[in-house]
Structure 1
């Protein structure tokens, strides 16, 4: 189990951050991923896999005026 945006979330251990984004967000373009306190660069999302007890924050940017 991982912790996603403060909530325990099952079925993502062993999956990549890209897979997580594809299942949990509408778009991956305006999302920043923080893994265990570190911001992950977009080119690393395909290769980084989630481990038990990882803490992930998905931060979305929304435009407006």
Structure 2
């Protein structure tokens, strides 16, 4: 966070992108937080392979 603040103060918000990971998971992650959609796409319920997904909202 100190590095982000330093960059923002030095270069300005118009030249800095602060990107933070929201959720990092991988092999051995037993939390179950990210497994639903990969499993859903790997094993669709229909014969044609289509998967029903939530609609994306319009802003």
Instruction: Flag the structure with larger Rg.
Output: 2
Would the TM-score normalized by the shorter structure come out above 0.5?
A: no
Larger RCO, structures 1/2 (Cα 8 Å, 6+ apart): 1
Greater share of helix: 2
Q: TM-score, normalised by structure 1?
A: 0.20
Q: TM-score, normalised by structure 2?
A: 0.21
Greater share of strand: 1
